[in-house]
């Protein structure tokens, strides 16, 4: 086999293995979760492609009989090709049979061997791999707006409305069934001195759905990141953009002259124009973490077929380290952010979201054990305490709304996900601690905020009524 042929075959094999990864990279919606152009992730993709190509190139020097042993490996990794081509699981075998039938006819008509026909197939894939890598370079020039800092507008002095959304804060495990061997947490303390609404359905199944639902005041049927700057929503069977009205963020700009968001996961500073916003990334663009994520994605789907979890200790360690640093950075910023702004302040807080690394149980430094969730709740309580201390300094008054985007989505201590989120309202206008079991929905928090914007000091009955009697 000539050296040029070996190189093409190696690139073809690497391309086949990397199809699922390349499909993910070329998905323009992936950029939605980064605060900047993810060059580290792109570099990690090329690095993994190069490593696989070198391994495949070395395999071309194996004896002919030994090369046949690579067929079971190729068959096992075929699911990456299916995912890369976005083919249904039932349609993919039809495609494979058609390819094998074509190779058989080639062998029969051209009087060649199956090995040579297979080599030719990988040579063609090699050209596809070259084209893919060249096309990948264009991603570096794709539009990805940089962080926008808005300093215009006249901010009107009004009482603060702080919507503190603690990601994955569960009402059962953080409030109702908190372990008796642990000290009372800050959320339990807040529930005892505020208005505790215990029967609030989660606004969506995951963060991608929940935050839009909570700000527009309606259930989101479908949410899909379409580009770095666009989240497509389906609401009541119709397409809409997140920043369209009705939307409490846009409405707050009209009422207060400005809206402020300190969050993560969603690129708030790109979705909404003319707001004060700082966004933390959902995933890191660090090369080392990106490389292990790509390596895991390479084998995740095939190994899932045989019930094997492929997340390596290296990936978990890198991701856990980044998550902890990000949460600590958020905590260090939150007091100053609350102090700086009046009116509507939305805090989307990346804790107690996993991995549960803030105070894990012994023997679980990477925070992968669900039992370490309680440690993250305790750290989230420290962030809550910081927010409250900042608000107490406000001369204009405030209302603090503490909730979550969704419940804990994994079983813990035999308790299945409950489908509810905490909802606690606190502030000088909440005179008597009250518990309400009224059935409300998380997306109706938008109606509560509309009430607070219209009437800064509503009664507890008016607060309950704004959500319980919502017509949306």
CATH number for the region 160-468 comes to 3.40.720.10
Q: Of the segments 26-35, 61-70, 139-148, 349-358, which one has the largest average pLDDT value?
A: 349-358
Res 248: pLDDT = 94
> Who has greater pLDDT, 337 or 395?
337
Greatest alpha-carbon span in the chain: 90
Average pLDDT in the 269-293 region?
Answer: 86
Mean pLDDT score, 431-442: 86
pLDDT tens-digit readout, 360-389:
999 888 888 899 999 999 999 999 999 999
Res 108 pLDDT > 50: yes
CA distances from 354 to 70, 92, 219, 313, 364 (A): 38, 35, 25, 15, 13
- Which band of pLDDT confidence, cut at 50, 70 and 90, is reported for residue 254? confident
pLDDT per residue as tens digits for the range 152-171: 555 566 788 999 999 999 99
- Whether the per-residue pLDDT at 101 is higher than 50: the answer is yes
Is the pLDDT at 349 greater than 80? The verdict is yes
- The predicted-structure confidence for 185-238, as pLDDT tens digits, reads as follows 999 999 999 999 999 999 999 999 999 999 999 999 999 998 888 899 999 999
**Taking all residues of the chain, what is their mean pLDDT, rounded to a whole number?**
85
Confidence (pLDDT) at 469? 55
Q: Are strands 160-166 and 344-349 parallel, antiparallel or unpaired?
A: parallel
Q: Does the pLDDT at position 87 exceed 80? A: no
* Average pLDDT value for residue range 166-184: 95
What are all long-range contacts of 116-120, with beta carbons under 8 Å and residues at least 24 apart? 119/1, 119/5, 119/9
| Single pTM value for the model | 0.85
Residue 456 has pLDDT above 90, yes or no: no
Residues of the chain with CATH 3.40.720.10: 160-468
The three state secondary structure string of the chain is CCHHHHHHHHHHHHHHHCHHHHHHHHCHHHHHHCCCCCHHHHHHHHHHHHHHHHHHHHHCCCCHHHHHCHHHHHHHCHHHHHHHCCCCCCCHHHHHHHHHHHHHHHHHHHCCCHHHHHHHHHHHHHHHHHHHHHHHHHHHHCCCCCCCCCCCCCCCCCCEEEEEEECCCCHHHHHHCCCCCCCCCHHHHHHHHCEEECCEECCCCCHHHHHHHHHHCCCCCEEEEEECCEEEEEECCEEEECCCCCCHHHHHHHHHCCCEEEEECCCHHHHCCCCEEEEECCCCCCHHHHHHHHHHHHHHHHHHCCCCCCCCHHHHHHHHHHHHHHHHHHHHHHHHHHHHCCCEEEEEECCCCCCCCCCCCCCCCCCCCHHHHHHHHHHHHHHHHHHHHHHCCCCCCEEEEEECCCCCCCCECCECCCCEECEEEECCCCCCCEEECCCEEHHHHHHHHHHHHHCCCCCHHHHHHHHHCCCC
Mean pLDDT score, 415-437 = 88
């Amino acid at each position: 086999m000539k050296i040029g042929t070996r190189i093409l075959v190696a690139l073809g094999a690497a391309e086949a293995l990397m199809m699922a990864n390349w499909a993910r990279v070329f998905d323009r919606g992936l950029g939605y979760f980064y605060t900047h152009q993810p060059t580290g992730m792109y570099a990690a993709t090329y690095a993994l492609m190069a490593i696989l190509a070198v391994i495949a190139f070395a395999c071309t020097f194996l004896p002919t009989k030994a090369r046949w042993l690579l067929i079971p490996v190729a068959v096992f990794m075929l699911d990456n090709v299916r995912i890369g081509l976005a083919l249904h699981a039932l349609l993919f075998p039809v495609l494979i049979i058609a390819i094998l039938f074509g190779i058989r006819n080639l062998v029969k008509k051209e009087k060649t061997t199956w090995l040579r026909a297979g080599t030719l197939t990988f040579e063609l894939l090699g050209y596809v791999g070259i084209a893919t890598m060249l096309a990948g370079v264009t991603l570096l020039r794709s539009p990805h707006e940089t962080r926008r800092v808005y300093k215009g507008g006249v901010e009107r002095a009004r009482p603060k409305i702080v919507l503190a959304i603690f990601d994955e804060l569960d009402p059962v495990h953080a409030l109702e069934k908190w372990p008796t061997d642990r000290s009372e947490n800050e959320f339990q303390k807040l529930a005892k001195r505020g208005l505790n609404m215990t029967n609030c359905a989660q606004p969506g199944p995951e963060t991608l759905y929940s935050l839009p639902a909570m700000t527009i005041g309606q259930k989101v049927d479908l949410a899909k990141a379409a580009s770095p700057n666009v989240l497509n929503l389906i609401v009541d069977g119709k397409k809409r953009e997140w920043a369209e009205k009705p939307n409490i963020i846009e409405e707050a700009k009209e009422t207060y002259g400005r809206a402020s968001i300190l969050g993560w996961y969603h690129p708030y500073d790109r979705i909404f124009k003319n707001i004060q916003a700082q966004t933390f990334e959902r995933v890191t663009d660090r090369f080392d973490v990106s490389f292990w994520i790509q390596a895991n994605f390479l084998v995740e789907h095939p190994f899932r077929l045989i019930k094997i979890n492929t997340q390596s200790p290296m990936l978990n360690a890198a991701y856990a380290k980044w998550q902890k640093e990000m949460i600590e950075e958020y905590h260090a910023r939150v007091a100053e952010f609350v102090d700086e702004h009046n009116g509507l302040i939305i805090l989307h807080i990346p804790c107690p979201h996993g991995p549960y690394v803030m105070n894990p149980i012994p023997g679980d430094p990477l925070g992968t054990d669900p039992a370490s969730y309680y440690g993250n709740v305790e750290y989230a309580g420290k962030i809550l305490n910081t927010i409250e201390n900042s608000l107490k300094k406000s001369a204009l008054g405030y209302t603090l709304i503490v909730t979550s985007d969704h419940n804990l989505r994994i079983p813990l201590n035999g308790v299945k996900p409950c489908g509810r989120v905490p909802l606690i309202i606190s502030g000088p206008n909440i005179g008597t601690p009250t518990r309400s079991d009224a059935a409300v929905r998380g997306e109706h928090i938008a109606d509560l905020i509309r009430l607070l914007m219209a009437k800064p000091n509503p009664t507890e009955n008016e607060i309950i009524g704004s959500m319980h009697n919502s017509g949306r």
